[in-house]
Amino acid sequence: MFHACIGILTIFLAAAWLGAVSPAESSPPSDWLSERNRDHRLAGLIWDSATGQVLSPEGLIRRLARSDYVLLGEVHDNWDHHRLQAWVIAGLVEAGHRPSVAWEMLDWDAQPRLDAYAGDAAGLGEALEWADSGWPEWSAYAPIAEAALSAGLPQRAANLPKARMGLLARGRLTALDPEERRRLALDEVWPEDFDSSLLDELEDAHCGLVPRSRLTGMASVQRARDGAMAAVMVEERADGRSPVVLIAGAGHVRPDRGVPWYLRALDPGSKSLSLSFVEVSDSAVQPGSYAGGRWAGQILWFTPAAQRPDPCEQFRERLESQRE
C-alpha cells in the first residue's frame, strides 16, 4: 500500500472533493487529480471489455443497477478512483436504489465501531482508527463514506480479521475451522490453473523478489479474504439490500477467480458486475490493450495514473534493510 503525504494542501483539497462528489451531482468528476497521463486519449472513457461497447455514465449506472452485486476495483492510492466510486454509489441512489456498501479496508472487527458512528464522513476515519490501518489517508476514502452516509446507506466491514490472516499466512486454508471454510466457500473445488495464476500475480506484485515457495501462505490469505468479502456481500443481499457494492482493490474484483467466483459459489444464480478503474499507460492507447488478464470480462473506467515512487525499488530497499 502506498501513503501520500498529509499536509494543509491535502486537507484543503479533501474538503473540496467531498463537495465535488455529492449525491446531487449528475456528471462524474473529470477534473483529474492524478498527475500522470491526464491528456491520454483514453482518460475518462468507460469501456465494456466483454462487448467492446463504450458506455455513457448514465448507461453505466443502468447496467450496474441491474446487478445483484457491484464490485468497484481501485488502485488504492489513486484519489480519482475513490471520487468515481463515490459517484457510482450516488448514481445508484439517484436511480432509486438503496445499495449496501462493503469495504475491503475494514475487517469484521471494525463493524461495531462502524455501526455505532453517528457523525459525518470527515470524522469517521478517526472513529475507525484509520490512521493506524496502513491504508492511504482517510481523506482519500472520505468521499465514499460521504456518499453512503448522506444517503443513509448501510455499510459493512468486509475483510477477514488480521488474526485469521496471520494463521493463514503461516499455514494453509485448513487453519480455519470447517464451519468458517464453508461460510467463505473455501471448500468449493478450486481449479488448478487458478493456483498458478494467483501465484503468478503475487510473484509479480512482489517484483519477483520473494521466492515462489514463500507465496503459498499469501495465496491462502488472498483466497480467504476474497471469500470473506463475498460472504458479507451475500449476507447483505439476504437482508434485502440490492445491489450490494464492494469497494476493493482491482485484483479482488476480477470475475474469474476473485470475489465474483465466491459470489457464484455462495449465491448461485445471482448476477455480479465488476467495474475497475484503470490507470492508463503511455504504451497502451487502445481499449483492447487492456482487455486481457485481470481486466477480462469487466467494465473498465480509464483514468490518469497517480504519481508514485517505484514500488519495486521501495520493496527492494525494505528487504535489504530487514537483512541488515
pLDDT per residue as tens, the chain (324 positions):
433 333 333 333 333 444 444 444 478 998 999 999 999 999 999 999 999 999 999 999 999 999 999 999 999 999 999 999 999 999 999 999 999 999 999 999 999 999 999 999 999 999 999 999 999 999 999 999 999 999 999 999 999 999 999 888 887 888 899 999 999 999 999 998 999 999 999 999 899 999 998 899 999 999 999 999 999 999 999 999 889 999 999 999 999 999 999 999 999 999 999 999 999 999 999 999 998 888 999 999 999 999 998 889 888 888 888 776
Nearest to 20 by CA among 5, 4, 31, 8: 31
Q: Write down the pLDDT at residue 5.
A: 36
**How many residues are present in the chain?**
324
Residue 260 contacts residue 283 (beta carbons within 8 Å)? no
Residue 24 contacts residue 78 (beta carbons within 8 Å)? no
d(CA 201, CA 48): 23
Strands (E), the chain: 46-48, 54-55, 69-74, 100-107, 155-159, 244-249, 272-279, 299-303
Q: C-alpha angle 204/210/211, rounded to 5°?
A: 105
Residue identified by cell 448461485 is: 268
* All three cell numbers of 76: 488504492
269: number of Cβ within 10 Å: 6
Residue 298 contacts residue 257 (beta carbons within 8 Å)? no
Query: DSSP secondary-structure letter at 161?
Result: P
d(CA 36, CA 46): 19
d(CA 270, CA 209): 39
Strands (E), 198-257: 244-249
Entry pTM: 0.89
Nearest to 145 by CA among 128, 120, 129, 121: 121
* All three cell numbers of 220: 491462502
Q: Write down the pLDDT at residue 2.
A: 38
